[in-house]
Structure 1
Amino acid sequence: MNRLHVHFRVKDLDASIRFYSALFGRCPDKREPDYAKWMLEDPRANIAISTRHEGTGVDHVGLQVDSDAELAVLAARLKDAKAEIVEEADATCCYARSNKFWARSPEGANWELYHTFGDSRTFGAAPDPFSGLNSAPAAKACCG
């Protein structure tokens, strides 16, 4: 089953952990010196915060899937829509190892589609996945 993912950039990790813990009624499932994550069931969501980026606010949104097969289906849908995507196989990010695809919506929202298969002891230091994408909007889907 898919899980919605939202990653926020924060400046004060401790204050943000207090806020989101109060909002969700529980402590984070994972906490590192620069990162925290809540794996919620109602709603089914993966909410992460980190101090690793400039500024504050939403860094990106995404869909976390349970298998590489589900990930391939999502990537194929975007390819069929002529969207530009960037693949990252065996990526280390946010203290986890994942296979992922990145895409940018026509309005500029950064989307991460990924399957996590293990933990990492480091945050990871991947380059900007969008540096290879042009700024042209993606083709409209059937619903647009």
Structure 2
Amino acid sequence: MKRFHVNLNVADLDKSILFYTNLFKQEPSVIKDDYAKWMLEDPRVNLAINTRGGKLGVDHLGIQAENAAEFSEIEQQLTAAEMEIFDQGKTTCCYAESDKAWVLDPDGVSWETFLTVGEATTYNGQS
């Protein structure tokens, strides 16, 4: 089953971790110096926060696939929506190894679709 993804840029990671931990009644599944992530089942969402963005607030939205068939299905849906797709392919981001594709909605909101295939020790493949 696919999972909704939200990535937020935050000013104070510790305060934001405290807020979202209390909001969801769940500790983050990943905590780094500049990043935290909750993989929630209720509601079924992947919420990530980080201090790397320039503008505070919503950085991008997305749909996380659980397997290659779902990832392919989402890419087909984006193609059917007649939006230009940027196929990023295999990449390291957000302390994970993933296959990714991106699209902008008609109003310029960035949407990411991805399939996580493993963990990574760095945020973006660079030390």
TM-score interval, normalised by the smaller of the two chains: over 0.9
Please, what is the CA RMSD of the aligned residues? 1.3
Paired residue secondary structure (1:62) = strand
Paired residue secondary structure (1:49) = strand
- Residues 81-115 of structure 1 deviation map (CA, whole Å, 9 limit, x = unaligned): 22101011111000001001101100111100010
Equivalent residue, structure 1, for 2:34: 34
What TM-score, normalized to structure 2? Answer: 0.95
- Residues 67-90 of structure 1 deviation map (CA, whole Å, 9 limit, x = unaligned): 122111111121122210101111
8 Å Cα contact 1:11-1:55 kept in structure 2: no
Paired residue secondary structure (1:20) = helix
Counterpart Cα distance in 2 of 1:77 and 1:111 = 13
CA distance 1:18–1:76, change in 2 (3 Å)? same
8 Å Cα contact 1:68-1:99 kept in structure 2: no
Paired AA for residue 77 in structure 2: R
- Residues 9-47 of structure 1 deviation map (CA, whole Å, 9 limit, x = unaligned): 011100110111110112111000000000000010000
Structure 2, unpaired ranges of 5+: none
2:75 is the counterpart of 1:75: yes
Larger strand share, 1 or 2: 2
Aligned-residue identity in percent? 46
Equivalent residue, structure 2, for 1:115: 115
Larger gyration radius, structure 1 or structure 2: 1
